[in-house]
Amino acid sequence: MKKILFTLTCTTVFLYASLKAQNAYYNKAAGTNAPVTEMRDHKGEVLKDEYGNVKYSKAEKDHHGNARGNQYDLAVDGAFDGQTILVLQLYHEPNFDFELPKTALKEKGFSVYRYIGNPPSADQLKKDLKKACQVWIISDSYAKLTTDHLDAIKNFFDAGKGVYIWGDNEPYYADANQLARHLIGAEMQGNLMGDQEVGLQENLHSPGLRPNHLITTGLEHVYEGITIATLKDHPTLEPIIYGSAGNLVTAAYEKDGKRLILDGGFTRLYVKWNTAGTGRYIKNAAAWLVNVERFGEELGKK
């Protein structure tokens, strides 16, 4: 009986700490695709119905059909001030300067430290990872990461730090696949034309965004990317975006306190950025990978 009570107490404490962390870093709209806002009169006072219940109306939307305003992102602006995202941009072309994602992430407080074209040495990577809350790997068409690189990222991941693995159409998933296999046994394949906006899913495997996930907060429409790869079925991956062709483009891994995102459409990071939802999606994904439910109190001490 004492053991059961102890377990229940520990669980309650964990849930309370998790909720407290979420309240400190997340907006009220967290996990809601189509948020609502309190209705107010001309004096700014909240309107209520005859039973005393607050009246709500749908949030104003942008021209893509997503809620307008940063208060409908997952994270509060500036919530992650002082947190660094390490980016290994192994694929590079002149138009892909990462400035648009960098500007969006800065709204939430993130700074970006980026390697372009080639990764640092494995020893340098280990040092850089100690200063980062998450690492993003953008794959090229041939492998550039060594076994030592993969092991360094695995140790980082096993410690609960976030990993975002980006690939694109074949063959631009060489390191994405070798890293995803190394971490969780997953991979991507193929080459499909996308270049469409998708809305919320109508059923479990239909094209579109998975509803009511923290990553899809404030999103009812999102751009899928141009030519994209398809993620293979994997028991531990939770679908986030199915492309217009019905292929799984983006999925999240969350198990044993660890978080990872696998994505077959890195063109969203620099092509048609102002098409539906990209900036908000990027900010939400980064906020989710911080894993405040696990590290919130630790973050608050920095």
- Same domain membership, residue 80 and residue 47: no
- Same domain membership, residue 138 and residue 59: no
pLDDT score, position 12: 40
- Same domain membership, residue 156 and residue 45: no
Specify the number of domains making up the chain.
2
- Same domain membership, residue 185 and residue 56: no
Which residue range is the domain that position 93 belongs to? Answer: 70-300
Give the model confidence (pLDDT) of 39-89 as tens digits: 787 877 777 776 777 777 888 999 999 999 999 999 999 999 999 999 999
Residue 28 placed within a domain: no
- Same domain membership, residue 169 and residue 86: yes
- Which of 10-14, 30-34, 37-41, 99-103 shows the lowest mean pLDDT across its residues? 10-14
- Same domain membership, residue 74 and residue 58: no
pLDDT score, position 35: 87
For residue 107, give Cα distances in angstroms to 220, 222, 280.
Answer: 21, 20, 10
Distance CA 156, CA 150 (A): 10
Give the model confidence (pLDDT) of 182-206 as tens digits: 999 999 999 999 999 999 999 888 9
Residue 2 placed within a domain: no
Give the model confidence (pLDDT) of 126-137 as tens digits: 999 999 999 999
Question: 30's torsion region: left (phi>0), alpha (psi -120 to 50) or beta?
Answer: beta
pLDDT score, position 21: 61
The 3-class SS string of the chain reads CHHHHHHHHHHHHHHHHHHHHHHHHECCCCCCCCCEEECECCCCCECECCCCCECEEECCECCCCCECCHHHCCECCCCCCCCEEEEEECCCCCCCCCHHHHHHHHCCCCEEEEEECCCCCHHHHHHHHCCCCEEEEECCCCCCCCHHHHHHHHHHHHCCCEEEEECCCCCCCHHHHHHHHHHHCCCEEEEEECCCEECECCCCCCCEECCCCHHHCCCCCEECCCEEEEECCCCCEEEEEECCCCCEEEEEEEECCEEEEEECCHHHHCCCCCCCCHHHHHHHHHHHHHCHHHHHHHHHCC
pLDDT score, position 19: 54
- Same domain membership, residue 192 and residue 133: yes
Whether 259 and 252 have beta carbons less than 8 Å apart is answered as: yes
- Same domain membership, residue 178 and residue 52: no
Name the residue among 131, 196, 185 with its Cα closest to residue 154.
185
C-alpha radius of gyration, the chain, whole number: 20
Residue 40, beta-bridge partner list: 46
In this prediction, residues 147-170 reach a mean pLDDT of: 98
Is pLDDT at 18 greater than 80 in this prediction?
no
Is pLDDT at 10 greater than 50 in this prediction?
no
Is pLDDT at 226 greater than 50 in this prediction?
yes
- Which of 4-13, 49-58, 147-156, 290-299 shows the lowest mean pLDDT across its residues? 4-13
Is pLDDT at 154 greater than 70 in this prediction?
yes
- Same domain membership, residue 102 and residue 57: no
Output the pTM of the full model: 0.90
Percentage of residues of the chain with pLDDT beyond 70: 91
Distance CA 116, CA 77 (A): 27
- Same domain membership, residue 223 and residue 135: yes
- Same domain membership, residue 127 and residue 44: no
Residue 29 placed within a domain: no
Residue 17 placed within a domain: no
What mean pLDDT is reported for the chain? 91
Structure tokens at 112: 């970006």
- What's the CATH code of the domain at 246? 3.40.50.880
Q: Residue 135: CB partners within 8 Å, gap ≥ 6?
A: 85, 86, 87, 88, 129, 153, 156, 161, 162, 163, 164
